[in-house]
A = this chain, B = another copy of it.
């Protein structure tokens, strides 16, 4: 690397990158919302979708673990899980080793939803890489790693 653009970034580049990130982020949420409306999963909001995603396919996380992961209070999680249970996406399983604990799992309907959402993300990443070859990957990964480091540092400080 001959020169670090980060020190000398020009205003146009800043605007381009910043506006791209902001717009992309904003639009992805709206697209996810609209895809849900068009899909068979019309009774689900975007937050509920992300809850289904947090519960995941193969683990059996506890209510507290999921609440912590989503930065929600336990009370909030109880009520959103109630909704997903009522609508048939999630099941509560009482943990037999420690009967205070509830493990959350997806029903087959919940797994369908999870996979549909995953497919959308796959499309997204695929589009991200259009026209690139494997030589470009290190740079892309570096940019993402940079951003991750930045947000991690900011998060943990």
* Interface residues of A, Cβ cutoff 8 Å to B: 1-6, 9, 13-14, 16-18, 20-25, 27-28, 30-31, 35, 71, 121-137, 139-152, 154-155
Which residues of the other chain, B, contact A130 by a CB distance below 8 angstroms? 4, 6, 146
Are A151's CB and B23's CB within 8 A?
yes
Q: With A24-B147, A140-B139, A141-B16 as given contacts, are A129 and B30 in contact (CB-CB < 8 Å)?
A: no
**Are B137 and A139 touching (Cβ within 8 A)?**
no
For A133, the chain B residues whose CB sits under 8 A away are: 1-5
Complex A-B: 25 CB contacts under 8 Å? A1-B132, A1-B133, A1-B136, A3-B133, A4-B129, A5-B129, A5-B134, A5-B136, A6-B126, A6-B132, A17-B129, A20-B147, A21-B124, A21-B125, A23-B151, A27-B151, A27-B152, A28-B151, A30-B155, A35-B154, A127-B149, A128-B147, A130-B146, A131-B146, A139-B139
